[in-house]
Every structure is written in structure tokens, then in C-alpha cells.
Amino acid sequence: MIQLSLIGIGTGNPDHLTGEARRAMAEADLFLVPHKGPGKSDLADLRTQIIAQVRPDATVALFDMPVRDDTLPYIARVDAWHDEIARIWTGTIAKFPEARRVALLVWGDPSLYDSTLRIAARLNPQPALRVVAGITSVQALTAAHAIPLNGLNAPVTISTGRRLADEGWPAGCETLVVMLDGNCTFQTLDGDGYDIWWGAYLGMPEQILEAGRLGDVAARICKTRARARAEHGWIMDTYLLRRRS
């Protein structure tokens, strides 16, 4: 049976690798590395650089990521996309019949707003699955801003830009962490009612941070985000919103 290790690697900084992640990488026979097109080639490059630091002798198989069918409803679109990725994984692994321990490096942690586990569940036959926890963008964000995640004895909600746009501020929520927001949905909120802590390329040399009263910094964040995305061809950002008392 093939063992598939999904290894959380943090937010792109090699120093985010845990000891467990390094051990799992040292044991792997094959690394799968997704390639998301020329505009995001440095994402694949970062993965291969991290692999090369830990395993200079590693066998690396790059595979092209399929494109989502935008004509389908959102959930159907994502399900079909995951099915196709699983088929690509299966075909790529089959090209290396001697590889019994396969690894895939996952940004942040495989369990938080990441679909790698859902894709792995589609593999047939099922591999023996190993998950190695990683530093999430949420942790990297709060560390970069030197703030606590939660208020005193208060809960935290983690959601997406899509849900914030569709449903507004969650009822009873004091602190909201928003991930996967390509539209700066915080602009839809009352600028006087919230503070925001925003970060992009967290933990990387390109890291950008902004914070303050939402009404004071929202426009600046949008401009900074657009400029950085145009410069790099991609962006990963996260933000935390907290109600003002």
C-alpha cells in the first residue's frame, strides 16, 4: 500500500517547517508538486526550493493543475475539479511504481480551508494517509501583528470572503478571521465599527502588513493588494476583523 503524507509547510518560510515535517520529507520516495500556470510558477518554485533544502536527492514530479469549469454552480464546480485533481494524482504516482511513500507539501495546514484531504479521499485505491500539521496563515497573521487571536474569554469565527459577502457579519461574532477573499469584502462593512489586521505573503520576504480602524485603512489595503498581485502574479492574504467597543 502507498503511504501519502500531506505535509503542512506554513506560509512559505522554510523556518516554518516543524521537526515532524522534516522527518516526513526525509522518508518520502516521491514528492508531488502542483504547477498552477506561468502566473503562479513561483509557488511551485517555492515548494521545490523547500524540498531541495531538506532532500537534495528527492524525486519530484510536477503536475499541471486542471482549470475549474466556471459554467457549473460553485459546489458542483469544485467537486468536479477535485475529481480531476485526484485522477491526475493517481496517474502521476503510477509513473513511479517503485515509490511507496509519496508526499505533497501543503501551504499552511492541511486541515484549515484546504481541500487536499478531500482530494485524497477520492483516490482509488485509498493510500495510507498521514497528515503533518503546519503553521496556518491565521497563526502567522497574529504573530506578525503581535496580537492575540481572541478577546478575553471570547470565541473566534473563521470564515471566507464568499460567506461574508453573502451573509454579512456573523451573528454574535466579536472576532472574525477571513480567508480566501479575492474581493476585499471588508469594504462592505461599517468602517467605523471594526478594526482590521491584514497580511499578505505572511512569513515570506515579501510580507506586507496593514492594520487600523477599517474606515482608515480599507482603501489602502485594496490598493496595496492590487499592486502586489500585479507584481507577483498571485497573492495569498488573510485578515482579522474585530468589533470596536
Assigned CATH topology for domain 3-135: Cobalt-precorrin-4 Transmethylase; domain 1 (3.40.1010)
Residues pairing with 31 in the sheet: 60, 103
Angle between helices 19-27 and 41-54 (to 10 degrees): 90
First-last CA distance in the chain: 56
| CATH no. of 138-243 | 3.30.950.10
CA–CA gap between residue 98 and residue 95 (Å, rounded)? 9
What the block records as the C-alpha cell of 19 is 521537526
The grid cell for 185 is 469584502
Q: What is the pLDDT of residues 195-219, one digit of tens each?
A: 999 999 999 999 999 999 999 999 9
Nearest partner of 164 among 139, 135, 141, 194, judged by Cα: 194
Reported as a single tens digit per residue, the pLDDT across 105-162 is 999 999 999 999 999 999 998 999 999 999 999 999 999 999 999 999 999 999 999 9
Residue spans of the domains in the chain: they are 3-135, 138-243
pTM > 0.85: yes
Q: Hey, how many other C-beta atoms are within 10 angstroms of the C-beta on 124?
A: 9
Q: Which three cell numbers stand for residue 36?
A: 498552477
